[in-house]
C-alpha cells in the first residue's frame, strides 16, 4: 500500500462520514446496537466465523476462543451500547472527521470496540489491522456493511505493515487516532502527532490478583482457585486483564499454589493453551529452572507445572519483581496485609489494569477504592476479570466521550 492510497481512502471516508452525519445520532446508534447484538449472539454467523478463523490466525485454541468470546461478549449487547452512549454523550456529539484506529495483538474484543466506538460518534474509521489478527476487523467490517451500507462505507481496512513509515505517517494525518500498543509504540505515535489532533492511547498493561484470608480457607479456596485459573487461562494470559501474579497471606502461599495448579491442570484439559513460539517456551523453561534453583539455594520457592510448558505455578518466598513469561505462568507471592499489598503494587501503578480481589471481608470495599486510586481501572471478583462491561474505562478513558473533539 502507498501513502497516496491511504490518503485516498481517508478522503473517501470523509465523504462517507459527511453522509452519515446527515442522519440522526440515534439512527446510527440503533444500527450499531444491532451489530453488537449480533456479536453477542453465539449463534450469529459473525461469531461462528470468528470462532472458526481466529484460532488459525492467532494460535489460540478453538476452545479458548469460544469460551473467551462467550464470557466477554455476553453482556456487550445493543442495549448496553445505547445505555453507554446516552450516559457518556448526553447530547449528540460529532466525532472527528476521520479516526485512525491502530490495532495490536490478537485478542478480538478491543478490536471490535475500537472500531465501533468512533462510529458511535459518526466518525468514520481508517483501521490499521494488527499483524497477528486481520480476521476480527474484517468480520467487524462485514457485520457493519451487512447492517447498514452507509455505515459500512465508513470503515476502511488498511493493509499496512507496522514498519511502513510513509503509510503510517499518512494514517496519522487523521484528526483523531485511537491506538493500542506498547509504551514505545504509543510514545512514537505521540511524537508524530500535533495539535489539534487527538490521540486516545491504550498502552500495554498488567493485571494481578489478591486473596485475603477468607478466600484461602479450605472451603472457599477450590472455588476461588477455579475462578482465578479461568482468568489466567482465557486468552492464554496475554490480555491486559490477565492476572500475572497472585498475592496471598504468607501462610497461604502453598495451599493457594496447590489449588491453582490443580485448577490450571483441569482447565488445560478443557481449554488447552494455544501454540507458542520457541522464544516464549524457552522463557518459560528458563524461569521454571531459575525458580527451581532458588528453591535449591534455600529459598522457599516451589515450582508446579504441567506437561511441556502448558502451565506453571511458582510459589515465591518474597514479593520481588520477576519476569512474567505469560502463556499461563503464574506466580504466588506472600504479602502480610492489605497495606503491604498496596505498597507492593505501587511500582506498577501506572501500568495497572485489573485486580481480582477476594477474601478481605469488611476491608474489601476500602481496599477496592484504594486499588482504584492506585490506578486499577478494573477491580472485580476472581473469574470476572476477562468480562469487563462495555463501559469499562480502560486505562481511565471513557469509551465514547474520550473520542469527542471537545470535552462532552
Q: Which residues bind other proteins (CB under 8 A)?
A: 58-59, 104-107, 110, 130-132, 161-163, 180, 182-183, 202-207, 235-240, 242, 244-245, 277-279, 281-287, 289-290, 292-299, 308-309, 321-326, 347-348, 351
The SS3 of residue 266 is helix
Query: Minimal CA–CA distance to 123: which of 228, 216, 34, 25?
Result: 25
Alpha helices in 234-272 (DSSP H): 253-270
Nearer to other proteins, 51 or 153 (CB): 51
Query: Considering the complex, what minimum distance in angstroms separates the CB of residue 73 from other proteins?
Result: 17
Query: Considering the complex, what minimum distance in angstroms separates the CB of residue 10 from other proteins?
Result: 23
Query: Considering the complex, what minimum distance in angstroms separates the CB of residue 196 from other proteins?
Result: 28
Q: How far apart are CA 172 and CA 178, in angstroms?
A: 10
For 316-319, the CB contacts below 8 A with 24+ separation are 316/253, 316/291, 319/247, 319/344
Query: Considering the complex, what minimum distance in angstroms separates the CB of residue 105 from other proteins?
Result: 5
Query: Considering the complex, what minimum distance in angstroms separates the CB of residue 59 from other proteins?
Result: 7
Query: Minimal CA–CA distance to 210: which of 179, 177, 256?
Result: 256
Nearer to other proteins, 6 or 238 (CB): 238
Longest dimension (CA), the chain: 71
Q: How far apart are CA 403 and CA 95, in angstroms?
A: 6
| Grid coordinates given for 335 | 504479602
DSSP of 315-374, one letter per residue? E-SS--------SSEEEEEEESSHHHHHHHHGGGGGGEEEEEEE--GGGHHHHHHHHHHH
Nearer to other proteins, 121 or 291 (CB): 291
Q: How far apart are CA 203 and CA 179, in angstroms?
A: 8
Query: Considering the complex, what minimum distance in angstroms separates the CB of residue 364 from other proteins?
Result: 24
Query: Considering the complex, what minimum distance in angstroms separates the CB of residue 107 from other proteins?
Result: 6
Nearer to other proteins, 325 or 334 (CB): 325
Nearer to other proteins, 245 or 404 (CB): 245
> What are the angstrom distances between the C-alpha of 112 and each of 133, 393, 399?
12, 15, 12
Query: Considering the complex, what minimum distance in angstroms separates the CB of residue 34 from other proteins?
Result: 28
Q: How far apart are CA 68 and CA 279, in angstroms?
A: 25
Query: Considering the complex, what minimum distance in angstroms separates the CB of residue 187 from other proteins?
Result: 11
Nearer to other proteins, 40 or 344 (CB): 344
The arrangement of strands across the sheet holding 99-102 comes to 155-158, 125-128, 99-102, 176-180, 198-202
Q: How far apart are CA 194 and CA 209, in angstroms?
A: 38
Nearer to other proteins, 38 or 324 (CB): 324
Residue in this structure with the C-alpha cell 482447565, named with its chain if needed: 267
Nearer to other proteins, 89 or 186 (CB): 186
Query: Considering the complex, what minimum distance in angstroms separates the CB of residue 296 from other proteins?
Result: 4
Nearer to other proteins, 218 or 296 (CB): 296
Q: How far apart are CA 359 and CA 214, in angstroms?
A: 4
Q: How far apart are CA 243 and CA 339, in angstroms?
A: 20
Nearer to other proteins, 17 or 137 (CB): 137
Q: How far apart are CA 164 and CA 99, in angstroms?
A: 19
Q: What letter does residue 302 receive in the DSSP assignment?
A: E
Query: Considering the complex, what minimum distance in angstroms separates the CB of residue 298 from other proteins?
Result: 7
Q: How far apart are CA 322 and CA 325, in angstroms?
A: 9
Nearer to other proteins, 219 or 321 (CB): 321
Amino acid at each position: 500500500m502507498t501513502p497516496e492510497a491511504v490518503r485516498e481512502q481517508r478522503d473517501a471516508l470523509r465523504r462517507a462520514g459527511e453522509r452519515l452525519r446527515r442522519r440522526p445520532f440515534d439512527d446510527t446508534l440503533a444500527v450499531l446496537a444491532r451489530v453488537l447484538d449480533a456479536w453477542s449472539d453465539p449463534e450469529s454467523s459473525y461469531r461462528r466465523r470468528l470462532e472458526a478463523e481466529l484460532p488459525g490466525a492467532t494460535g489460540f485454541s478453538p476452545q479458548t476462543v469460544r469460551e473467551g468470546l462467550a464470557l466477554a461478549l455476553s453482556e456487550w449487547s445493543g442495549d448496553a451500547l445505547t445505555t453507554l452512549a446516552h450516559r457518556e454523550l448526553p447530547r449528540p456529539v460529532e466525532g472527528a472527521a476521520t479516526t485512525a484506529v491502530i490495532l495490536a495483538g490478537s485478542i478480538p474484543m478491543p478490536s471490535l470496540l475500537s472500531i465501533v466506538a468512533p462510529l458511535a460518534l459518526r466518525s468514520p474509521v481508517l483501521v490499521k489491522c494488527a499483524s497477528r489478527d486481520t480476521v476480527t476487523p474484517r468480520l467487524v467490517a462485514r457485520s457493519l456493511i451487512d447492517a447498514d451500507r452507509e455505515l459500512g462505507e465508513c470503515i476502511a481496512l488498511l493493509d499496512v505493515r507496522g514498519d511502513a513509515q510513509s503509510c503510517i505517517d499518512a494514517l496519522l494525518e487523521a484528526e483523531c487516532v485511537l491506538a493500542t500498543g506498547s509504551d514505545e509504540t504509543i510514545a512514537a505515535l505521540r511524537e508524530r502527532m500535533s495539535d489539534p489532533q487527538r490521540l486516545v492511547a491504550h498502552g500495554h498493561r498488567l493485571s494481578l490478583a489478591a486473596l485475603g484470608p477468607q478466600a484461602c480457607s479450605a472451603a472457599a479456596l477450590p472455588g476461588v482457585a477455579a475462578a482465578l485459573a479461568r482468568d489466567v487461562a482465557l486468552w492464554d494470559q496475554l490480555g491486559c486483564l490477565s492476572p500475572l501474579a497472585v498475592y496471598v497471606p504468607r501462610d497461604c502461599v502453598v495451599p493457594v499454589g496447590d489449588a491453582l495448579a490443580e485448577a490450571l491442570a483441569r482447565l488445560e484439559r478443557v481449554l488447552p493453551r494455544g501454540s507458542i513460539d520457541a522464544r516464549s517456551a524457552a522463557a518459560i523453561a528458563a524461569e521454571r529452572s531459575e525458580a527451581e534453583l532458588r528453591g535449591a539455594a534455600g529459598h522457599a520457592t516451589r515450582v508446579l507445572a504441567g506437561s511441556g510448558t502448558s502451565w506453571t505455578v511458582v510459589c515465591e518466598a518474597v514479593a520481588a519483581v520477576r519476569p512474567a513469561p505469560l502463556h499461563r505462568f503464574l506466580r504466588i507471592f506472600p504479602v502480610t496485609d492489605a497495606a503491604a499489598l498496596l505498597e507492593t503494587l505501587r511500582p506498577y501503578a501506572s501500568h495497572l489494569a485489573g485486580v481480582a480481589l477476594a477474601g478481605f471481608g469488611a476491608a474489601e470495599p476500602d481496599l477496592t477504592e484504594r486499588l482504584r486510586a492506585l490506578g486499577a481501572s478494573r477491580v472485580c471478583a476472581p473469574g470476572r476479570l476477562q468480562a469487563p462491561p462495555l463501559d469499562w474505562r480502560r486505562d481511565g478513558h471513557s469509551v465514547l466521550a474520550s473520542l469527542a473533539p471537545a470535552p462532552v
